[in-house]
Amino acid sequence: MSVPPQPPPPPHPAAPGLRAGTLTTADISFFVVSAAAPLTVMAGVAPIAIMLGGIGAPAGYLLAGITLTVFAVGFTTMSRHVGHGGGFYAYITRGLGRPAGMGAALLAMLGYNGMEIGVYGLLGSASQDTALALFGVEIPWLPVSLAGLVLIWYLGYRSIDFGAKVLGVLLVAETGILLLLAGGVLLDGGASGLTLDSFTPANVAVPGMAAVLACAFAAFTGFESTAIYRREACDPRRTIPRATFIAVAFLGLFYAFIVWTVIQAYGSDKVVQAATDDAGGLFFAAITTYVGGWAADLMHVLIVSSVIASLLAFHNAINRYTLSLTEEGLLPPVLGRIHPRHRSPYLAGAAQTAVGAVVVAGFALAGADPYTQLLLWVNTPGMIGLMALQLLAAAAVLCYFRRARHQEGVWRTVVAPVAAIALLGAALALVTANVELFSGAGTGTNIVLVSLVPAVFVLGVALALRLRRTRPEVYARFAAEPEGETPAAREPATR
C-alpha cells in the first residue's frame, strides 16, 4: 500500500523585528532630550560654567545650540537619503567609505557605553546626596548603582513605546522643577531687577568663554541619536529631522534661559562669587529662596529621576547600535534576537547591562569614588568620542552630496556642512584642551582618556581592512541599504 504524499511543513515563522511605526516626533524628542539630562546638567555643571565664564555663560549655551543646529541641517538632509538604522556609522560609511564607517561604529559603541556606564556612578552619588539632604542618613552608593542597572535593564527589555512613556513623565518632571525656579525668580524680579547683561559683547567675549563653550557642547551630548530610532519611527523621513531640530532648539534655548534666570536670582555682581563658594548648592539655594524649601527637596529627588531618564535613553541607543552591528556580522548573532512580545533587542540589553555591572563593580572594588572617578573618567572618552563622531558625520555629509545625484540645495549640502566642520572642529578642540574640567584628573590620566578615542577609531579601520581581505562578503554588505528602501539620491558604491 502506497503512502500518500505528505504536505510540506508549514514555513517557519519570520523572526520578530523591532516595533516599526511606533515612535512619534515627540517620543524620539523625549529620548534625545532625556539623554542630555537637563536638570542634572543645570544643577551640576552650569554653576561651573558661571564660575569660569561669568555672567556671559547663557550666551555660551546659545552659541553651542546654534553650532549644532548648523550641523543638524546637513545631518537631517542626509537622513532622507540613508535608510539604514545604524545612525552615525551608516552616514559616515556613505560619505567617507567603509573603513571610516567601521571605525565610527566602534567609536559609537565607546561613546554611548561611556556616556551610559559612567552615569551609574552619578546615580549612586546623587542618591547619596538626596538621602543625606532629605533624611540625614548616609547610604552606600554601590547597591544603588547595581539596583539602577537592574531597573534600566528591565525598562529597556520592555517595548520601546513603554520606555518613551516613562521618559516623557520623567522629562516633564525635571524640566518642570527648573521652570518653577525660573518662574519664582521672574515673578520676584530677581535679586536686583532683571537685566540682559549676560548677552552683551563685553560679557560674552571674556577669556573664560572657551571653558563655558566646552561645558555647553558637552551638555548636548546624544542629541544626534534620533537617527538610531529610524526603524521604529513613524514616517522616519519626516520624524527624524523634526525630532532632531526640536531637541537641539529646546536644549539650546532652555539651557540659556535657565542659566540666565539663576544669574538674575543672585544678581550679576554676586552670582560668580556664589558659584565659587558653593557650586553644588547654587540651584538649591536659589529655589529655596524664591520658591521654598519643599521645592529644593523635590529637586533633590528629581535629580535622581533625571539620571535614571538619561541612563534609559542611552541604554536604548546602545541596544540599537548593538543590534545593527550584529546584523552587519560584526558581533555574535545571538545579540540580535528580538523579544517576540516586547519587540525589543533584549539580549543586546542584557549584554550591555552585564558590561555595565562589570565596570561599576570594578571601580567599586578598586575603592574609586563614584563621582570623581567612575562618572568623570568613564564619561570623558564617551563624550569626546561622540563629538568626534559629529565631526566625522559633518565631513561625510559634504563628501556624500559631492558624489551623489540629488536635488538638495547648496545651503544644505555645502554651506551648512562646511560651517559645521569648522565649528565642530573648534568645539572638539575646546573640549580636548579643557579636558580637566570634565575628568577632574591629572595630565597622565587625561592623556589616556583622550587617546582612547583615536585608538578605538583606528582599531575599527584596521578591522575593516582585515575583513576586506578575510571576509569580503561581510565587508561588502556593511551599512548597506535595507531591502525595500528607496533612497532619495543615488550615489556610487561606498569604498
How do residues 248-264 score in pLDDT, each as one tens digit? 999 999 999 999 999 99
Q: Is 208 exposed, middle or buried (0-12, 13-18, 19+ CB in 10 A)?
A: middle
Q: Which of 48, 433, 61 is nearest to 216 (CA)?
A: 61
Band of residue 224 on the pLDDT scale cut at 50, 70, 90 = low
Q: What is the mean pLDDT of residues 105-114?
A: 94
**How crowded is residue 466: how many other Cβ atoms within 10 Å of its Cβ?**
12
Name the pLDDT band for 11 (thresholds 50, 70, 90): very low
8 pLDDT above the threshold of 50: no
CB 337 within 8 A of CB 350: no
Closest residue by Cα to residue 237 from 492, 486, 491: 486
Q: Within 10 A of 25 (CB to CB), how many other CB atoms are there?
A: 21
Read off the pLDDT of residues 401-449 as tens digits, 9 standing for 90 and up: 998 888 888 999 999 999 999 999 999 999 999 999 889 899 999 999 9
The pTM of this model reads 0.90
Only one residue has cell 550615489, namely: 491
In order, the DSSP letters of 226-255 are: GGGGGGGBSSHHHHHHHHHHHHHHHHHHHH
